[in-house]
């Protein structure tokens, strides 16, 4: 029984750590057919998407609403487990855009999507709500709110986020969620004083990740933290890394970066291993227990090994086999989309 418990503990930890999520938001400036048709830019964008388990793409501008489906096929050619859900074209004027969420189907599935009911035109582009299901996680379901705030109405729109959140919850969406996207929440659009006066900064249901110390703009003449990630409900910021900026591949010139977009992607990692049963001490103990079980099993199958049970080469071989076993377990868990409850 003790051996079974140790093995089960190891499998649980492997399964949980496998489901850490890298989550990003990327305003791809004027992402339409012209940008898509440029093979160099398209390849750069595919490379960006492949880094994430879930990424929100904003500013999709294609009247035919077909380009984004061609783009996901390009991404799937590199990673067949990717899929997307895309919003209708949104906008209160002739200017309209779409939001898309691209996600790894080994870790996530989409349960439903609706758009915030916007009868009073509270938003220039009302945020779509997506309910997503985590296949292997202590947190099963959460809501993603994709946002691209109108730079002319930053304070007004940000102050309506609580209403959008309450609407989603009233429609049966999970109360734990993430607002993310280009909020234009810095520099001339939102001063420090106005930021601190926002309803979301004094409402305990919302937690802004990070402090005002990032620059999400590509231009070397600006230092503005426009793109943000805000948790809502009972999601704990301690389970997320500090927001960071994805500088594309780090090798391209600033001129090339500007052709890709005027924004860099912002991202965090949701650390599922921080929940109960996934801390480092437990992991180390589980692996140690597993190594001991494997070593005893080998000695029983091959009695000659009992004569050299403490040999350094045997310890190295057991360690190697343990690592291989862990990697195989990870592959099996991912392939069969296993749910550990």
Give domain limits for the chain. 2-13+279-335, 21-270
Beta bridge partners of 134: 108
The phi and psi torsions of 24 (rounded to 5 degrees) equal -135, 165
Q: Is 97 a catalytic residue?
A: yes
Q: Which CATH superfamily is domain 21-270 in?
A: Endonuclease/exonuclease/phosphatase (3.60.10.10)
Hunting for tokens 């009695």 — which residue is that? 303
**Strand pairing category for 227-232 and 206-208:** antiparallel
The pLDDT value given to residue 164: 92
Measured CA to CA, the distance from residue 80 to residue 176 in angstroms comes to 29
Give the pLDDT score at 237: 94
Task: Output the pLDDT for position 241.
Answer: 94
pLDDT of residue 53: 95
pLDDT in tens, the chain (341 residues): 444 455 545 555 554 444 689 999 999 999 999 999 999 999 999 999 999 999 999 999 999 999 999 999 999 999 999 999 999 999 878 889 999 999 999 889 999 999 887 767 788 888 888 999 887 666 779 999 999 999 999 999 999 999 999 999 999 999 999 999 999 999 999 999 999 999 999 999 999 998 778 999 999 999 999 999 999 999 999 999 999 999 987 778 999 999 999 999 999 999 876 654 444 444 555 566 667 777 777 787 888 777 776 777 877 887 778 777 766 765 565 555 444 33
Q: Would the pTM of this model clear 0.85, i.e. be above it?
A: no
- Residue 275's pLDDT is what? 59
Q: What single DSSP character describes residue 20? A: -
Q: What angle do CA 192, 59, 253 make, to 5 degrees?
A: 80
Q: Which of 97, 157, 160, 263 is catalytic?
A: 97
In 92-196, DSSP assigns E strands to 98-104, 108-115, 128-134, 141-148, 177-182
Active-site option among 44, 148, 239, 263: 148
Contacts of 261 (CB under 8 A, 6+ apart): 26, 27, 28, 29, 218
* Residue 196 designated active-site: no
């Amino acid at each position: 029984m003790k051996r079974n418990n140790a093995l089960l503990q190891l499998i649980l930890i492997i399964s949980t750590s496998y489901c850490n999520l890298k989550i990003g938001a990327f305003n791809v400036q004027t992402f339409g057919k012209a940008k898509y048709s440029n093979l160099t830019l398209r390849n750069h964008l595919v490379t960006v998407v492949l880094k994430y388990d879930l990424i929100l793409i904003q500013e999709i501008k294609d009247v035919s609403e077909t380009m984004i489906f061609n783009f996901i096929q390009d991404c799937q050619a590199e990673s067949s487990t990717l899929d997307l859900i895309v919003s209708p074209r949104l906008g209160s004027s002739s200017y309209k855009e779409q939001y898309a969420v691209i996600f790894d189907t080994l870790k996530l599935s989409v349960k439903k999507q609706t758009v915030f009911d916007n009868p009073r035109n509270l938003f220039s582009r009302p945020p779509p709500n997506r309910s997503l299901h985590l296949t292997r996680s202590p947190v099963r379901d959460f809501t993603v709110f994709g946002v691209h705030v109108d730079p002319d109405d930053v304070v007004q729109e940000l102050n309506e986020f609580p209403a959008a959140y309450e609407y989603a919850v009233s429609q049966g969406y999970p109360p734990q969620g993430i607002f993310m996207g280009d909020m234009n929440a810095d520099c001339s659009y939102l001063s420090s004083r106005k930021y601190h006066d926002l309803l979301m900064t004094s409402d305990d249901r919302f937690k802004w990740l990070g402090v005002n110390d990032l620059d999400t703009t590509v231009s070397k003449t600006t230092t503005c933290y426009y793109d943000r990630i805000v948790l809502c409900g009972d999601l704990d910021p301690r389970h997320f890394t500090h927001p960071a900026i994805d500088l594309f591949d780090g090798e391209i010139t600033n001129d090339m970066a500007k052709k890709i977009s005027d924004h860099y992607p912002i991202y965090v990692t949701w650390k599922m291993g921080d929940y109960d049963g996934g801390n480092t001490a437990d992991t180390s103990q589980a692996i140690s227990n597993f190594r001991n079980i494997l070593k005893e099993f080998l000695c029983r199958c091959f009695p000659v090994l009992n004569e050299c049970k403490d040999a350094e080469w045997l310890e190295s071989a057991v360690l190697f086999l343990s690592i291989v076993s862990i990697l195989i377990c990870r592959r099996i868990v991912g392939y069969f989309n296993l749910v550990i409850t």
